[in-house]
Amino acid sequence: GIQVEQSPPDLILQEGANSTLRCNFSDSVNNLQWFHQNPWGQLINLFYIPSGTKQNGRLSATTVATERYSLLYISSSQTTDSGVYFCAVGPLAGGTSYGKLTFGQGTILTVHP
Amino acid sequence: DGGITQSPKYLFRKEGQNVTLSCEQNLNHDAMYWYRQDPGQGLRLIYYSQIVNDFQKGDIAEGYSVSREKKESFPLTVTSAQKNPTAFYLCASSPRVHYGYTFGSGTRLTVV
């Protein structure tokens, strides 16, 4: 099946710093999503971004599907950004596989005040 | 407000017992999913359903069963055949076209 690799595995920042999280995947995809998991376990969908660039406030994401990677940018980080960031991808093949996501291992982000 | 409700938040199971985790959504989403998360790990797919009365096995379906009798509901049963059921279980749903997932708040299952 498709492999998803996220880097770095851990990231520690001071409040106000910027960061870039990377997601590499092993095959063509038609679905790529970024999620934030808070310390209580709730997963929030940040972006649905199988290709192109999107921005939402201090967060933005870029997916280069032809080169099989995606980047999540966090600017002016805040302590509330702490948690685990997951990249998840879905295969290009349709049929019974649509909507099915494979998750990476995540990047643990800690933002200190 | 629309969303996904998982219950209970915490569940304790005795050895050899079957337990059922509830997942209900009012988002009118066609597809629903169950994922398992172990400490420090990513999510792994257990089962998914694209339409009522149909579901597919995911990567780790052994020891689990599901049903999809209503569009809004996708309960997961953890059977006694699941050797290591202690984990955090997350239910999600997505529209047929957009594919964006919405997650519930999860159920933490512990075997005692």
Q: Do A40 and A96 contact (CB within 8 A), yes or no? A: no
Q: According to the model, what pLDDT value does residue A108 have? A: 97
Q: How far is B29 from chain A (nearest CA, A)?
A: 12
Nearest CB among A31, A42, A105 relative to B99 is that of A31
Classify residue A79 by its DSSP letter: G
Cβ–Cβ gap B90/A1 under 8 Å: no
pLDDT, tens digit, 9 for 90 and up, residues A3-51 = 999 999 999 999 999 999 999 999 988 889 999 999 999 999 999 999 9
Cβ–Cβ gap B99/A45 under 8 Å: no
Q: Whose CA is closest to B73, among B90, B93, B88?
A: B93
> First CA to last CA across chain B, in angstroms?
36
Q: How far is A91 from chain B (nearest CA, A)?
A: 12
Q: Whose CA is closest to B74, among B43, B109, B107?
A: B107
Q: According to the model, what pLDDT value does residue A16 have? A: 97
Interface test with B, best of A100, A107, A108 (most B CBs within 10 A): A100
pLDDT, tens digit, 9 for 90 and up, residues B49-66 = 988 999 999 999 999 999
Q: According to the model, what pLDDT value does residue A97 have? A: 56
pLDDT beneath 50: ranges in chain B: none
pLDDT confidence band for A98 (50 / 70 / 90): low
Mean pLDDT of chain A: 93
Tokens 């005795």 sit on residue: B14
Q: According to the model, what pLDDT value does residue B100 have? A: 85
Q: According to the model, what pLDDT value does residue B98 have? A: 55
pLDDT confidence band for A94 (50 / 70 / 90): low
Q: According to the model, what pLDDT value does residue A1 have? A: 84
CB-based contact, B33 to chain A, within 8 Å: yes
Mean pLDDT of chain B: 92
Residue of B nearest to A101 (CA): B45
Secondary structure element (H or E) that encloses residue B77, with its range = strand B76-78
What percent of chain A is modeled with pLDDT above 70?
A: 93
Nearest CB among A88, A96, A106 relative to B56 is that of A96
Interface test with B, best of A10, A35, A103, A105 (most B CBs within 10 A): A103
Q: Which residues lie below 8 Å from residue B46, measured CB to CB, with a gap of 6+?
A: B34, B35, B36, B58, B59, B60, B61, B64, B66, B76, B89
- Measure the CA–CA gap between B40 and A106, rounded to whole angstroms: 9
Nearest CB among B31, B44, B102 relative to A99 is that of B31
Please compute the mean of the pLDDT values over residues A104-110 and round it to a whole number.
97
